[in-house]
Amino acid sequence: MTLLITWSDAGPDTVVRRTTEPDEIAAALAPAGVRYEQWALRDDLPEDPDPATVLNAYRHEVDALAAAEEFATIDVVGLRPRKDLGWRLTAKAERKKFLSEHTHDDDDEVRFFVAGAGAFYLHVGSEVHAVLCEAGDLLGVPRGTKHWFDMGAAPSYTVIRFFHDEDGWVGNFTGSDIALKFPDFDALVAERMTMAQ
């Protein structure tokens, strides 16, 4: 169940909007140029598929979006919990990299969640939209939009990434500490679980 929470950018004390309805999420994000849609999940994928298998499974959707938006590069990335320390260090470094507010000057940030979950925080005008995405969600953050991403303390996700720029992910960090003011991924997951009860 995808969750959208909108607050004033002053802090999370006042909730402007809270919804798990896909149509309401799409409508709330559309004025900011944010694309939100859901794709049907493939139930025949193995638990930890390689990138080629993922791209083949979603070939029709990927090709249609790539043609419509003229994406130059498409790849598959993810993190899965492992018992070895190396995974923990990698996951911690990756999480820290994306947790600071940033923009992208030359590209949109478009992600389709094949498995797992992650939270995008969009700082648009005087509001912050937290979108807890899960398998089946496609989110497109327009270039120039201030945002950050949290994958949680124990990341578990697989995403298809779409880039117009062949250089891939290039972030311009704003230097703001705004991300520290808002509930993190794990808090959003807990809230979603409470709402589902």
Closest by Cα among 145, 122, 89, 84 to 4: 122
d(CA 85, CA 93): 12
| 102 annotated as ligand-binding | yes
Closest CA to 145 of 117, 104, 114: 104
> What are 116's two structure tokens?
């797992």
Tell me how far apart the alpha carbons of residues 158 and 151 are, in angstroms, rounded to a whole number.
11
Q: What angle do CA 95, 72, 100 make, to 5 degrees?
A: 20
Residue 164 known to bind ligand: no
User: CA 105, CA 107: separation in Å to the nearest integer?
Assistant: 6
147 marked ligand binding residue: yes
Q: Are 51 and 75 in contact (CB under 8 A)?
A: yes
Is 123 a known ligand-binding residue?
no
Residue 61 dihedral angles phi and psi, to the nearest 5°: -65, -45
Binding residues: 102, 104, 109, 147
Annotated binding site for Ni(2+): 102, 104, 109, 147
- Binding-site residues for Fe(2+) sit at 102, 104, 109, 147
